[in-house]
Amino acid sequence: MSTPSPQAMVIQRGDYRAPSYQIPEIILDLRLDPENTEVLAHLHFRRVAASPVAELPLNGEALELLSLQRDDQVLAEHEYRLTEDGLVLLNPPETFVLKTKVRLHPAANTALSGLYHAGGQFLTQCEAEGFRRITYMLDRPDCLARFTVTLHAPQKHCPVLLANGNCMAMGREAEGWHWARWEDPFPKPTYLFAMVAGDLAVVRDRYRTASGRDVALEIYVAERDTAACVQAMDSLKRAMRWDEEVYGREYDLDRYMIVATDSFNMGAMENKGLNIFNAKYVLASPETATDSDYQGIESVIAHEYFHNWTGNRVTLRDWFQLSLKEGLTVFRDQEFSADQNSRGVQRIGDVRRLRAAQFPEDAGPLAHPVRPEAYSEINNFYTATVYEKGAELIRMIHTLLGKTQFRQGMDLYFQRHDGHAVTIEDFLAAMEAANQRDLSGFRRWYSQAGTPVLRASGSYDPVQHSYTLTLHQETPATPGQSTKEPVPIPVRMALLNTQGQRAPLSGAIEGPDGEAVLLLEQREQSWTFVNLPDPVIPSLLRGFSAPVRLESAWDDEACGFLACYDDDPFNRWESIQNLAVKALLAAVADSSVTPLPAVLRDATASILRDDALDPAFRAELLTLPSEDYIGEQMSVVAVEAIHRARDTLRQDIGARFAEKWMALYHDLAAPYQRDGLAIGRRRLRNLALSHLIASDGDSREAMALHARQQYAQADNMTDRLAAFQLLVQHPHHDAKDILLDFYRKWHGYPLVIDKWFSIQAATPRPETLHQVEHLLVHPAFDWRVPNRVRAVLGGFAANPTVFHAADGSGYAFYAEQIRRLDDINPQTAARLATPLSRWRRYDAQRQQAMRAALTMLADKAKLSRDLAEVIQRSLP
Ligand code: 0A1
Ligand code: ZN
């Protein structure tokens, strides 16, 4: 059978129709066997459409139908039809119970969607449309059912049997099997269903809610990982408290379960009361996890927990509303992390991620609005735009309304919609109604793709003692949207005088504590500030108050000034980044130009001198922009020149400030601790090491020795891995022994071995391609484990000079691997294919090679819908 063309199956937002039936109750019974699992389902149907329907289609995929009854009658042939994507009931009565029995093959389910068997465990993943791979059902988020689930499995292999809600009964049965029955009192859509069965150990804790209810907290992991759940459990309790304090939201079940697995396509999943997590976001010990792994756990644990209200209690009407839960929940987890750590550093990290993933997406062929208009495979829309840009839209609403008013809007949203499946429109309407505000212009942010460019210019009038600021906006065209309307852009700003102090804001707008929010609603607007005896420099878009590209007319001197004096941490970071980008672009254009001009050198010197600065923030300020980010600022990405210029700048900064880096390296050494200060110190110290080792001078060999020592003696993975990476990726260092040593030490720890794979794949050397070919046949490589595949292929695609090798070898190799992966795990294949979509950003030769790679994939036999859609949108 040939694959249907993806255009044939495009789903349009405007085509939404409410379901004609609801299924308020579903009773499932699963007999779990890796090869042949049987699922019995009783679905209680109730018609909600006013008049009878001739056809009632149920979703079903890869199911083997064993029996089919309505109430107690076997269905006759004229009463149903089996189709490619399910089962159609013909002329169904107003109410009935459908009883189905199907067979599945969990061990063969390498797509990891639906019910699968991996690593000796049975697991489910039902978002977005995995439930239809478990049984026939109305698999759509606006059908909420009460679930009762009975699991049967051999006690020996699966002593633990879990599903959503409360465990009501358990028992033994013949031949060493046992069973457990679970009931979830909260009606939920199918995508939030989950079950787990396996041989798992449990780490338990308790949490008392603000109203005094006790909740059992349980984290299920392999026996040998029980000691590695401290950060996950602690983050969970802090997240629960935070949601009570900041949003007044309590947990609602008696039990909150988390299960960790190595076999998972994404980060984690918020199934009601039974989250399933990629082990990467649960397990951590100082010896195996880096500081950034710890932070990842904190934010993903919080993210999934916050979904209990934003996603589960109030859920989605249809998948076009995905950002309703994801944008809002990312905003909530970002704010949680900001409250737990340094707000400024958190914001810099958030924006860095937005720019690394979402800005390029928004500027390429896969651009789509935060609320998309059409999709062929919804799994392709779990994107940086829906998540991260979606979060920025919520943040702008928060900025525009203010904290208290935003909370009032949230309260009203929960009050109106608890227990319902709703839309982004419902959310905005609640925000408006609670605050008597009109957000009609703001809606364009949800429907218009593309990153607006914000241009700022200003002038000081020494006669009038006034400053006039002009802002202009323009959004570039995106696929299917050639003309763009202006969007309301909140611009948080302050004025700084030449001594670096805040100047008062008076005139067009006044703000408390010398800060204001300008709202740019037109294409162009001006504001005049008065009573300014001296010239001022504006600090604009403080805290990155809108997801735009700011192009300001300030000269290097003004940027250098802001890099030293701006009291907004984000803007201070932004100013020095801008200086670095500008210097690098000049060096890219002309290799005889130094990438370390005086203004950047002086700003760097002043930060290096400032020992009073928070070390984490200081490390951010001193971290160079990535090669990808520099490439983003060019019309044609100059792959090699960017790499060279950045390396040279790193060397120059290393050499020029060698003494200071050395002092930092020695002074910041300390026994391992896990508080924010210690984390910042480690980061700064490892940055020092990277600059010293990069510098071409005599110290390089000595520093390689230091790095070897650090690798061997580190009491934590952050330091060990930093040294490991520097040594492995160093152009003049033979690190074979270290690679071997690392593997030997950590081969029993999959998450650590993922790092071993990805650092090798990301090494910027010509022989890396060959090396990666070897990695793919390494005994520890496994095509069925997404973390492992992402470590190698994701690491490779993030390696600019190798992936984008001018002869096209990187693309051809990469596409070949995607082709292979598509037969195993389409969702991960499609996601990994997206870097190839950016072909327009490269020179003619590379364009041709990237297109050839995409065309090769397009011609693949049995191309998945996931990958087909990505290719088709990439290759018009
Ligand atoms: N809702 C989850 C992410 C997720 C999405 C899709 C998945 O499978 C296709 C799995 C997880 C979250 O936002 O955390
Ligand atoms: Zn989410």
521-561: pLDDT as tens digits: 999 999 999 999 999 999 999 999 999 999 998 999 999 99
> Whose alpha carbon is nearest atom 1 of ligand 1?
269
pLDDT value at residue 671 = 98
- For ligand 1, whether the C-beta of 330 sits within 6 Å is no
Residue 427 pLDDT > 80? yes
- For ligand 1, whether the C-beta of 326 sits within 6 Å is yes
How far, in Å, from the CA of 106 to the mean position of ligand 2? 25
Q: Compute CA distances 632 → 363, 580, 586, whole Å.
A: 10, 14, 15
pLDDT band, residue 423 (cuts 50/70/90): very high
pLDDT value at residue 508 = 60
- For ligand 1, whether the C-beta of 125 sits within 6 Å is yes
Atom of ligand 1 nearest to the CA of 827: 9
DSSP code of residue 153: E
- For ligand 1, whether the C-beta of 332 sits within 6 Å is no
| Ligand with minimal distance to 330 CA | 2
Residue 190 pLDDT > 60? yes
Ligand 1 pocket test: pick from 109, 113, 115, 127 the residue with the most ligand atoms within 8 Å of its Cβ: 127
To the nearest 10°, report the CA torsion of 652, 656, 659, 662: -10
How far, in Å, from the CA of 381 to the mean position of ligand 1? 11
Tokens standing for residue 638: 């100059």
State how beta strands 55-59 and 86-90 pair. Answer: antiparallel
> Whose alpha carbon is nearest atom 2 of ligand 1?
269
Atom of ligand 1 nearest to the CA of 268: 14
- For ligand 1, whether the C-beta of 269 sits within 6 Å is yes
Atom of ligand 1 nearest to the CA of 311: 1
- For ligand 1, whether the C-beta of 268 sits within 6 Å is yes
Residues with a known catalytic role:
304
Query: Residues of the chain with pLDDT > 90: what percent?
Result: 96
How far, in Å, from the CA of 465 to the mean position of ligand 1? 55
pLDDT digits (tens, 9 = 90+) for 106-135: 999 999 999 999 999 999 999 999 999 999
Residue 366 pLDDT > 90? yes
How far, in Å, from the CA of 674 to the mean position of ligand 2? 27
> Whose alpha carbon is nearest atom 8 of ligand 1?
127
How far, in Å, from the CA of 264 to the mean position of ligand 1? 10
Query: Residues of the chain with pLDDT > 70: what percent?
Result: 98
Question: CA 437, CA 409: separation in Å to the nearest integer?
Answer: 10
Q: Is 51 exposed, middle or buried (0-12, 13-18, 19+ CB in 10 A)?
A: exposed
Contact assessment for residue 772 and residue 799, using Cβ atoms and an 8 Å cutoff? no
pLDDT digits (tens, 9 = 90+) for 2-53: 344 444 589 999 999 999 999 999 999 999 999 999 999 999 999 999 999 9
Ligand 1 pocket test: pick from 266, 274, 282, 299 the residue with the most ligand atoms within 8 Å of its Cβ: 266
How far, in Å, from the CA of 10 to the mean position of ligand 2? 24
DSSP code of residue 792: I
| Ligand with minimal distance to 306 CA | 2
| Ligand with minimal distance to 281 CA | 1
> Whose alpha carbon is nearest atom 11 of ligand 1?
269
How far, in Å, from the CA of 386 to the mean position of ligand 1? 12
Residue 414 pLDDT > 50? yes
pLDDT value at residue 633 = 97
DSSP 634-663: SSS--HHHHHHHHHHHHHHHHHHTHHHHHH
Atom of ligand 1 nearest to the CA of 125: 8
- For ligand 1, whether the C-beta of 391 sits within 6 Å is no
pLDDT value at residue 513 = 74
> Whose alpha carbon is nearest atom 13 of ligand 1?
326
- For ligand 1, whether the C-beta of 866 sits within 6 Å is no
pLDDT value at residue 701 = 81
> Whose alpha carbon is nearest atom 3 of ligand 1?
269
pLDDT digits (tens, 9 = 90+) for 274-302: 999 999 999 999 999 999 999 999 999 99
Residue 1 pLDDT > 80? no
pLDDT value at residue 2 = 36
AA letter at 721: L
pLDDT band, residue 732 (cuts 50/70/90): confident
- For ligand 1, whether the C-beta of 379 sits within 6 Å is yes
Could you identify the residue written with the tokens 């009964």? 169
- For ligand 1, whether the C-beta of 566 sits within 6 Å is no
- For ligand 1, whether the C-beta of 511 sits within 6 Å is no
To the nearest 10°, report the CA torsion of 860, 862, 866, 868: 40
How far, in Å, from the CA of 194 to the mean position of ligand 2? 16
Ligand 1 pocket test: pick from 269, 308, 324, 328 the residue with the most ligand atoms within 8 Å of its Cβ: 269
Atom of ligand 1 nearest to the CA of 382: 5
- For ligand 1, whether the C-beta of 303 sits within 6 Å is yes
Ligand 1 pocket test: pick from 382, 790, 864 the residue with the most ligand atoms within 8 Å of its Cβ: 382
Helix (H) or strand (E) holding 866: helix 865-874
Atom of ligand 1 nearest to the CA of 128: 9
- For ligand 1, whether the C-beta of 135 sits within 6 Å is no
State how beta strands 55-59 and 502-503 pair. Answer: unpaired
How far, in Å, from the CA of 345 to the mean position of ligand 1? 26
Please work out, in degrees rounded to the nearest 5, the angle formed at the alpha carbon of residue 292 by the alpha carbons of 291 and 294.
65
Tokens standing for residue 268: 């984690």
Q: In what order do the strands lie in the sheet with 160-163?
A: 114-118, 121-125, 195-198, 160-163
How far, in Å, from the CA of 266 to the mean position of ligand 1? 6
- The SS3 assignment for 493 reads strand
pLDDT value at residue 698 = 72
> Whose alpha carbon is nearest atom 5 of ligand 1?
127
Within 10 angstroms of residue 47's Cβ, the number of other Cβ atoms is 18
pLDDT digits (tens, 9 = 90+) for 628-665: 999 999 999 999 999 999 999 999 999 999 999 999 99
> Whose alpha carbon is nearest atom 4 of ligand 1?
269
pLDDT digits (tens, 9 = 90+) for 158-188: 999 999 999 999 999 999 999 999 999 999 9
Question: CA 519, CA 454: separation in Å to the nearest integer?
Answer: 12
Q: Which residues of 221-259 are buried (b: 16+ CB within 10 A; e: fewer)?
A: bbeebbebbbbbbebbbbbbebbeeebebebbbebbbbb
How far, in Å, from the CA of 137 to the mean position of ligand 1? 20
Q: Compute CA distances 199 → 163, 168, 220, 223, whole Å.
A: 15, 20, 9, 9
| Mean of pLDDT values over 63-67 | 98
pLDDT value at residue 3 = 44
Residue 510 pLDDT > 80? no
> Whose alpha carbon is nearest atom 7 of ligand 1?
127
- For ligand 1, whether the C-beta of 121 sits within 6 Å is no
How far, in Å, from the CA of 17 to the mean position of ligand 2? 25
| Ligand with minimal distance to 324 CA | 2
Q: What is the mean pLDDT of the chain?
A: 97
| Ligand with minimal distance to 382 CA | 1
- For ligand 1, whether the C-beta of 479 sits within 6 Å is no
pLDDT value at residue 497 = 94
How far, in Å, from the CA of 660 to the mean position of ligand 1? 45
pLDDT value at residue 8 = 53
Looking at the chain, the number of H-run helices and the number of E-run strands are: 30, 32
| Ligand with minimal distance to 332 CA | 2
pLDDT digits (tens, 9 = 90+) for 375-399: 999 999 999 999 999 999 999 999 9
Question: CA 552, CA 752: separation in Å to the nearest integer?
Answer: 43
| Ligand with minimal distance to 310 CA | 2
- For ligand 1, whether the C-beta of 266 sits within 6 Å is yes
